Amino acid sequence: MMEDSPKLTLYNFDDPQYDNCSYVLTSPRSLKACSRMGVKPVDLLYTPPTDQDHQICHLLYPGTLCSRLHNEQEDLRHLKLKLCLEERNRILKKEQLDLLNKSSKENTVDNFFDNSQMDNIYSSSYGDNKSQYQFHEYPKTAWMENSYEDKVSRFKFEERMKELREESRKLRLDLKCREKNLLNTMKSAAESSPPYSARSSPKREPLLSSLEKKSASLDSCNSRKEKLASRSRGHLKLTPKDQKILDVMKSRRENERACCQRRQMLHHQWEREKRQEEMVKSTLENIRRKMIRVANLKSEKNLNEIWEEESKKLEDIDATTPADDGSMTHRSDQLLEELIKKEEVRVRMSNRRKQKKKHQEEKLQDLTREEELMKKMLQEKQEMDIQRASQKKQTMVANNVAKMKKVNTERFNKYKTQKEFLNTQERDICESLSQVLAQQQGQVMDNLEKLTNERVVLQKYKRKIFDKRLERSRNLKHQGEKEKCCGRKAVEELAEETQQKVQTHTCSAHMKAQKAREDRLHREISHASNMKRINTYLELWKEKTVEHLSEKEKRLEEIQAAREQQMNEARASAHRSMILRNKLRQYYDPNNFDKKLLEAELYIKMGSGIQTAAKNLSSFSIS
């Protein structure tokens, strides 16, 4: 399993080509470092926030607080990774020292080992892939700068975590207090300020609350910045990485302020347009009502004049009494002709009334059509605004994606260049080590040749003179062979021990990788359950919003029905007033009545204007 799977260390586990791998880490040194620091390898992975999590976080908290929490999590992850890398470098240094000590001890016993035996021991202890277990592995990474500048101990790490938690708790309390104070001030201002229209007031409240939250979050950011600045002036030294982070946070804050200002400007512009539309609607309704009133008054005046003329003619006829029968017949003929003329006049008046009614109905239809056209235009304008906003959002998302792709490609290219540089350095070191080993082997071979030559010379001299010394030398040779056998046996035992250690190490690494996989599966299951809960919450929220909108539509329909009832009642009251006026005219003398009407109209025009006079005519006629 370990041979087939790629070697994942703390330097390359975050590479995008290992996203679909079943293990987080496979190298034994990095796993050992994580276990010593008490960090799970899954916690070192970068987990970007999804769109749904981002939306839910924005619903629960303001936008700046969400980004701040995410940045704190990322800082904590980088700290853990830095500690693990330092621990891994310590382990590597210890292994290098142990290997150097072993090599210095083994160089004293070079007479007992050949070059082939050393190669066998090296291959059995470190496997076939010698490049995987080299003496030097570099601490540089593609995402961290100056990893050896300031080492953080476990105690300092815990102290820093406590400080960050206390700061976050204080900031949350400040935010809550500011939100409460702002809400109280807004309530008092709403009570003291004049009431707005019923349509615009409910939509304005959530927007104001969101703006208040954003301003409160900005104030909290400023207070936190001042605190951090005061601390950093005192005893903290900013690294270049921290300076870059501060610059990025400043740019983000400026962008957020600009976005808030733009939103406020758009909100005010939308309110102005809405007020203008309402003013246009109200003016159109007033014009329509004035036109209807003028038409009604003109028709009533014409009818009154005709009836007055007819009544005068009848009075004149009654006043002239008949003297003779011939004159009576002549007058009866005249009366018949007058009656015929009156009927014709009535028919004409009825036709005129019908035409006027048709004309009024056509005007009403035209006005209704104009209102419908205005509504359609407003709807189309709103749809166009929504489409433009969606297009802007899509372009913003596409730009952000392109920027992220550029950043990722740049990081990947940097990582590639660093990796190539490291590989070249490793090759140079391997070549230098091989040259040193070759020189040492040449020296050993030269020493062996010298020794053999000296032995041959000594044996030639001593064979002639000393036979006993030859026997002693043979005994010494036998003893040397025995010692060589013992040394070989010791070497074989050492090789077996190293093989057993490697097997146990691989088993432990396999078990740790299995644990990491189980932890990852458990997290995925918990994430899926959380996502289901979130989806159910969103569905419930959608259902509630649909019910709320249906209730609003019902209320609007009820209001329209009530308005229609009021209009019908007003028309009925106007009809009653007309009937009463006609009765009063019949009851009183018409000449005096007309004079009183003219005096009342002149008085009203002098006092309260044309519109109030038209409204108060009915009340004056009744009194």
**Rounded mean pLDDT of 191-195?**
50
Q: What are the percentages of helix, strand and coil residues in the chain, rounded to 5? A: 85, 0, 15
Kindly tell me if the per-residue pLDDT of 210 is higher than 60. Answer: no
Tokens of 22: 């079943």
Radius of gyration of the chain (CA): 51
Alpha helices for 466-609 (secondary structure H): 467-587, 590-608
Q: Which residue has the tokens 């064979």?
A: 463
Burial 47-59 (b: 16+ CB within 10 A, else e): eeeeeebeebbee
**What is the predicted pLDDT for the residue at 261?**
85
Angle at 23 between CA 20 and CA 29, to 5 degrees: 135
**Three-class DSSP category at 263:** helix
**What is the predicted pLDDT for the residue at 254?**
86
Domain ranges of the chain: 336-465
**Rounded mean pLDDT of 433-438?**
84
C-alpha distance from residue 464 to each of 272, 316, 387, 468, 476 (Å): 127, 191, 115, 11, 19
**What is the predicted pLDDT for the residue at 257?**
85
**What is the predicted pLDDT for the residue at 258?**
86
Segment among 30-44, 88-102, 353-367 with least mean pLDDT: 353-367
Kindly tell me if the per-residue pLDDT of 306 is higher than 80. Answer: no
**What is the predicted pLDDT for the residue at 211?**
45
**What is the predicted pLDDT for the residue at 186?**
65
Residue range 376-416, pLDDT digits in tens: 887 887 788 788 887 888 888 888 888 888 888 888 888 88
Question: Rounded CA gap, 312 and 578, in Å?
Answer: 22
Angle at 72 between CA 173 and CA 182, to 5 degrees: 30
Please enumerate in sequence order all residues whose Cβ is within 8 A of that of 69, keeping only pairs 6 or more positions apart, or say none: 57, 61
**What is the predicted pLDDT for the residue at 324?**
46
Dihedral over alpha carbons 115, 117, 123, 124 (to 10 degrees): -170
Tokens of 621: 């006629």
Please enumerate in sequence order all residues whose Cβ is within 8 A of that of 127, keeping only pairs 6 or more positions apart, or say none: 133, 502
Question: Rounded CA gap, 430 and 421, in Å?
Answer: 14
Alpha helices for 20-114 (secondary structure H): 28-37, 51-60, 63-107
Question: Rounded CA gap, 305 and 536, in Å?
Answer: 75
- Count Cβ atoms below 10 Å from residue 8 Cβ, excluding itself: 21
**What is the predicted pLDDT for the residue at 158?**
78
For the chain, give the percent of residues with pLDDT over 70: 69
Q: Are 604 and 612 in contact (CB under 8 A)?
A: yes
Give the residue among 234, 228, 263, 275 at the shortest CA–CA distance from 249: 228
**What is the predicted pLDDT for the residue at 131?**
40
Tokens of 519: 């932890």
Kindly tell me if the per-residue pLDDT of 479 is higher than 70. Answer: yes
Tell me 12's DSSP state.
Answer: T
Kindly tell me if the per-residue pLDDT of 529 is higher than 80. Answer: yes
Question: Rounded CA gap, 216 and 197, in Å?
Answer: 28
Segment among 212-221, 288-297, 424-433 with least mean pLDDT: 212-221
Kindly tell me if the per-residue pLDDT of 327 is higher than 60. Answer: no
**What is the predicted pLDDT for the residue at 139?**
38
Burial 264-286 (b: 16+ CB within 10 A, else e): eeeeeeeeeeeeeeeeeeeeeee
C-alpha distance from residue 490 to each of 121, 476, 480, 493, 503 (Å): 12, 21, 15, 5, 20
**What is the predicted pLDDT for the residue at 608?**
53
Establish how many alpha carbons lie within 13 A of residue 411's alpha carbon, considering only the half-sphere containing its beta carbon. 14
Give the residue among 219, 194, 214 at the shortest CA–CA distance from 267: 214
**Rounded mean pLDDT of 51-56?**
55
**What is the predicted pLDDT for the residue at 328?**
54
**What is the predicted pLDDT for the residue at 239?**
77
pTM over 0.75: no
Q: Using N-to-C axis directions, what is the helix angle for 240-319 and 325-465, rounded to 10°?
A: 170
Q: Are 256 and 64 in contact (CB under 8 A)?
A: yes
- Count Cβ atoms below 10 Å from residue 443 Cβ, excluding itself: 11
Q: Which residue has the higher pLDDT, 10 or 50?
A: 10
Establish how many alpha carbons lie within 13 A of residue 241's alpha carbon, considering only the half-sphere containing its beta carbon. 10
Question: Rounded CA gap, 308 and 62, in Å?
Answer: 78
Tokens of 124: 């059995």
**What is the predicted pLDDT for the residue at 110?**
46
Residue range 69-83, pLDDT digits in tens: 778 888 888 888 888
**Rounded mean pLDDT of 347-367?**
80
Residue range 128-144, pLDDT digits in tens: 444 443 333 333 333 34
**Rounded mean pLDDT of 5-28?**
78
Q: What is the mean pLDDT of the chain?
A: 73
> Measured in whole angstroms, how far is the alpha carbon of residue 378 from the centre of its chain?
30
**What is the predicted pLDDT for the residue at 195?**
44
Q: pLDDT class for 203, splitting at 50, 70, 90?
A: very low
Tell me 114's DSSP state.
Answer: -
